[in-house]
Structure 1
Amino acid sequence: MNALQAGGTAQRTSLPASVSVVTWNVERCLFPEDTAAHMERFAPQVVLLSEVDHGMARTGQRHTTEAMAEAMGMTYLFGVEFHELDLGGPTEQAFCKDDFNRLGWHGNAILSAVKPERVRLIRLDDHGHWYSSDEVPADPEQPRLGGRMAIAAVLPTDAGPVCFVSTHLESNADAAHRHAQFELLLDAVDDFAPDMPVVIGGDLNTGNHLPPDFDWKRETLFDLARSRGYDWSATPDGMTTRASLITPHPDRVMKLDWFCIRGLRSTDSALVPSLDSNDRPLSDHDAVWAQFDLS
């Protein structure tokens, strides 16, 4: 739970001074090759992924991160967020051909066109939030060990090293909990990559468990980041969730996915609908794309 798996093939030795980056919660990554192809028009040199499976029955026991990296000709880092103890909920079990998980790993990943110079796995929870119901109601359909985490990687660019971070904050919690997680993350990034530009991307679950309106604007982590020299300008307007094959909730629309940046600027950004050419949802989250100027 504290190790990172690395693999794939680098396309180049250094990223250009203008970098295309996608952050995307791919909801288990049911279709790795199709998910990779969906990003082709943005030609990303860095992809920050949440909710990727490795050895899970619901995704054909595949290493979905490795499959995406191979399809895109990129390197990858994979870290375990949870060790899943069962097959998942009813909609996920419909995709299972086996009645067991070969490994049961589920986590975050970073794909990159270059080999990372340094990497770190940053754990954000240590209390069994999903295994124990002492703090919040546990989900009986998702018994799991572990907790939320982030992957940080320093990547070489023509403008100098840049730290990229893929993270996933807690959904089954309130704003104070996510604030504490994000503060821990920012502290860890300061320790790991001081005095360099930083791009944090991921599903921050903003607005989750904030009744009655579930409004992302009530989260305190936004001002926390601003007070630490970060900004949110690379995130385009618009909600980022939709109904999917696993999460068929047509009326639940939220803004969960963000870029948080320091020491660089975004020159363009867009939300990328997760519907493929046949209108099949690849995820319950749309992807977020941005172009960054590192010069």
Structure 2
Amino acid sequence: MGTELHVGIDGEKTVVCAYPIKSRSGRARRTRVGSLVETVPCAPSGRTRERRVVFVARLALPLLLLSAVAGVFGINWWLAMAGSAALVGYVWRRQARAAQPGAFAVPRDQESRVLWTAAERTAFDGALAASRRVRGTWPALDGMVDPVLADRSLTRALDELATVLTRRQDLRRLRADLSGVEVSDIPADSPARAAVAEQSERADALWRETGEAANRILRSIDTAARAGESFLRERQVAATARYAERTLARVTGSPAVAESGPELADRTEAVIAAYRDLAS
């Protein structure tokens, strides 16, 4: 994995690669959080071709007049016309692209991963949502978690998950193909029938193996998110308890006793253990 992980999600696929994702149509919006860069398509502008033609015509008319005035003052009119034409063309292409539904181009290199199937895309989306929860706890966990190391571990986990889910996607198709092979009319001692049975067993074994690997990564990300969120909620409850204790002591005139908020020192071990599991 490189220093960054780029994730693009459109209506038909999820693209995961180490470099910026190109759009096939429409426009896209990028959001960077640490070493993770998420790219999502922008909604179509809704401008019809007729509206775009009207807008470009209104833009071209003053540019034409400006070119004519430039010629009167001795400026090369054809340079002004060329610049105006280039500007009009640029605006037209940009508006036409913005009117299209957004979709990402499929990378051609072998290192990029593209998830097409609904099950694998749903699993990766869930991991991505859990990673946002994990990152959301870091500001409040200052001193307990190194944000740089945690960011690398989290991004690496997402990268590994994308690889596992891509393999699982391929295995899903292969198992469907193998299950569709009709062998009832083939003799039981046929080498072809035995070969299909052997490959089916191998595919099933790899299916279980990738399922376990994917679940392990998903659990580690979710555990880190739950540990951080639980710690923050408990700390908030402790702060509320201390505030209530001080307020009651002031109202009743009695001295404040030892703070009744729960001790959180032991809880830090759960958070640290969750991040260690994520990094492993």
TM over 0.5: no
TM-score calculated relative to the size of structure 1: 0.21
Q: Which has the higher helix share?
A: 2
The structure carrying a bigger strand percent of its residues is: 1
TM-score by length of 2: 0.22
